[in-house]
Homo-oligomer: A and B are copies of this chain.
Amino acid sequence: MTVENWLKVLSDNGYRLTDSRRAVVEIVNDSSRAMTPLEVFDSARSSHPELGLVTVYRTLEKLEELHLIQRVHQPAGCQAFISARQGHQHMLLCQRCGQVTYFEGDDLDNLITNIADKTGYSIKEHWLQLFGLCAKCHSSNPNQVPGLFHS
């Protein structure tokens, strides 16, 4: 989804298009890493110095509500957001550079049926996330201890 798509969704849902929102949308839409509100703020201020952190929070809230972005849970914290994909998707996160790569084609049906049988639960949803090193980070220094995450 492009910046223009996001702006159209905001507009179609009755939200006004302002410079502040455009600045936030441009940064978040473009990022392949999950960003915290403060990171978005710092980055967006280079093109829009009068932007307030409060507006970043408010814009991220709306983008999340419209399913344009989603919160990313990581060992080091769960405040960061990344551009969302449509439908059921999972992500793969680089423990060194933070790069997020979506993948599909997970086949958990057997696993889920088994667990449902064993436990008696009726299973409605699942979360699957993979962590590792992206090709670039892996080749640059495969043994370095990751710095982005604890534990």
Contact = CB atoms under 8 A, between A and B. Distances in A.
Contacts of A103: 115, 118-119
B121 A134 contact: yes
A105 B114 contact: yes
A24 to B, nearest CB: 21
A3 B138 CA distance: 42
B111 A135 contact: no
Copies in the complex: 2
Interface in A110-151: 111-112, 114-116, 118-135, 138, 142
A95 interface: yes
Contacts of A11: none
Contacts of A123: 92, 130-132
Interface in A61-110: 73, 78, 92, 94-95, 101, 103, 105-108
Across the A-B interface, the 9 shortest Cβ-Cβ residue pairs: A120-B135, A123-B132, A125-B131, A127-B129, A124-B132, A121-B132, A122-B138, A78-B78, A73-B73
Interface of A: 73, 78, 92, 94-95, 101, 103, 105-108, 111-112, 114-116, 118-135, 138, 142
